[in-house]
Amino acid sequence: MLLMEMMRTALTPEKLAAFDSFIDGLPDGYQAVVRSGLSQQARILGAQLEPNDHIPRPLERVYGVVHERIVRGEIVTNGQSLCLLQVDEILRNEPGTRVNVSDADGDTQPQYQLRLTFLTGTTDRKPLEDFATLVNKELSADLRKFILGSQRFEDLKNEGGQPPTAPTHSELSLASELIDKSVRTLAVAMKAVGGLLVSDLGNQLPGRSQGEVERAKNSLLQTGLAVSEVVVICRKSQAQIACVPGRETLEDVSRLSVICACGRAYLDERIEEALNVIDATRALLDSSRWLSLIVLDELLRLGITLDQIRIDQVRGGDELDAFVNVSGELVLFEFKDKRLSHVTVVSDLIA
Ligand SMILES: [Zn+2]
């Protein structure tokens, strides 16, 4: 999984020189990729580096309606992650469609802005926190996370609906067990008919080996998705006449001389072990809530905030399983047949 996070802060003009000395004096463990690359090229080609060769030629760009010019840049790595640093000189910034949603700068843009883009192949954001702390200390800066906004996401959001709440640890641990198709098939069947006899579990998983059925059963019990019950079945009518938590309860009931309508004592009837799902499992299976929680957890781990996510929305009769602002792109998720079937980036759709 690729993780990208962006941070930025205002920078006073005096800090431009401090930026250069910060890069020149990076602590052990960090390497300035651009500067070291230039030095190596110069050494190999026998060329002389000028003092300002590492400073990019002012590159002016128009991004939405923001006009800016990159005046400093460097790529810093610790070997595992990349930190792209750039200093922009803000030339003009008018209210426009590509809005910043994490803070309200309005028209009080600083003259210079330091931007840090962090890239890594894992979801470990500790290197980012460490590096941001270092930058803040050395440049007396105050880097804040920012995200790009999406006008299409804002429009959909404004039609109503609330951001989701973060899943609890116990919800997530149960939901992640339901990813297993055999476990889920059994849980869905138990929910539908109010429990299953252990001897019937195999019928719910046609074509699966006995070992696979046993594995799914153990998984249901060990994770707490289901509990074991004892079922009493009348030998005469074949109807289920009682369901108790354990055999001890059955013995207690029998001591009270409770008997079946056919005249037999409970302990003389057919006694079978059954499994049934608990209420929390039923709630997770309703409208495939477990899948929404898994997707939500993945999005949060990618650094997307709850406010930029809407899940299980209905719009004019159309069910939208989830829509999310991912770095300025509106992304739609569609869950079909209890599995994730589509992820659509709206700009791709339009293109
Ligand atoms: Zn009976």
Ligand 1 centre to CA of 190 (Å) is 24
Q: What's the pLDDT at 338?
A: 52
Task: Supply 25's token pair.
Answer: 């004096």
For the ranges 45-54, 268-277, 337-346, the lowest mean pLDDT is seen at 337-346
pLDDT tens profile 112-123: 889 999 998 887
Instruction: Look at residue 248 and tell me whether its pLDDT is greater than 90.
Output: no
Segment 240-261 shows an average pLDDT of 87
Q: Is the distance from CB of 73 to CB of 88 less than 8 angstroms?
A: no
Ligand 1 centre to CA of 263 (Å) is 6
For the ranges 54-68, 82-96, 271-285, the lowest mean pLDDT is seen at 54-68
Buried b (16+ CB within 10 A) or exposed e, 163-176: ebeebeeebbebbe
Ligand 1 centre to CA of 251 (Å) is 16
Strand ranges of the sheet holding 226-233, from the earlier edge strand across to the other edge: 196-197, 270-277, 226-233, 240-244
Task: Supply 63's token pair.
Answer: 């991004």
**With bands split at pLDDT 50, 70 and 90, how would you rate the model's confidence at 60?**
low
Instruction: Look at residue 82 and tell me whether its pLDDT is greater than 50.
Output: yes
The SS3 call for residue 266 is: helix
**Residue tagged 């000395």 (tokens):** 21
Ligand 1 centre to CA of 266 (Å) is 8
**Alpha-carbon distances of 251 from 66, 230, 284, 316, rounded to whole Å:** 78, 11, 34, 57
Q: What's the pLDDT at 186?
A: 95
Segment 293-304 shows an average pLDDT of 86
Ligand 1 centre to CA of 234 (Å) is 4
Q: Give the Cα separation of 112 and 118 in Å (integer).
A: 20
Q: Give the Cα separation of 183 and 189 in Å (integer).
A: 10
Q: Give the Cα separation of 216 and 301 in Å (integer).
A: 28
Most confident of 44-48, 66-70, 104-108: 44-48
Ligand 1 centre to CA of 270 (Å) is 9
Helix pair angle (289-301, 169-177), 10° resolution: 120
Instruction: Look at residue 190 and tell me whether its pLDDT is greater than 80.
Output: yes
Ligand 1 centre to CA of 253 (Å) is 15
Ligand 1 centre to CA of 231 (Å) is 12
Q: Beta strand 81-93 with 240-244: parallel, antiparallel or unpaired?
A: unpaired
Ligand 1 centre to CA of 196 (Å) is 20
Ligand 1 centre to CA of 238 (Å) is 8
Ligand 1 centre to CA of 349 (Å) is 63
Predicted structure pTM score:
0.68
**With bands split at pLDDT 50, 70 and 90, how would you rate the model's confidence at 109?**
very low
Ligand 1 centre to CA of 258 (Å) is 11
**Residue tagged 């608990």 (tokens):** 278
Instruction: Look at residue 129 and tell me whether its pLDDT is greater than 50.
Output: yes
Instruction: Look at residue 250 and tell me whether its pLDDT is greater than 80.
Output: yes
Q: What's the pLDDT at 12?
A: 83
pLDDT tens profile 1-27: 678 888 999 888 888 888 989 998 999
**Who's near 335: CB < 8 A, 6+ residues apart?**
288, 291, 292, 295, 321, 322, 341
Ligand 1 centre to CA of 76 (Å) is 77
Ligand 1 centre to CA of 242 (Å) is 10
pLDDT tens profile 130-180: 999 999 999 989 999 888 888 888 888 888 778 888 899 999 999 999 999
The SS3 call for residue 342 is: strand
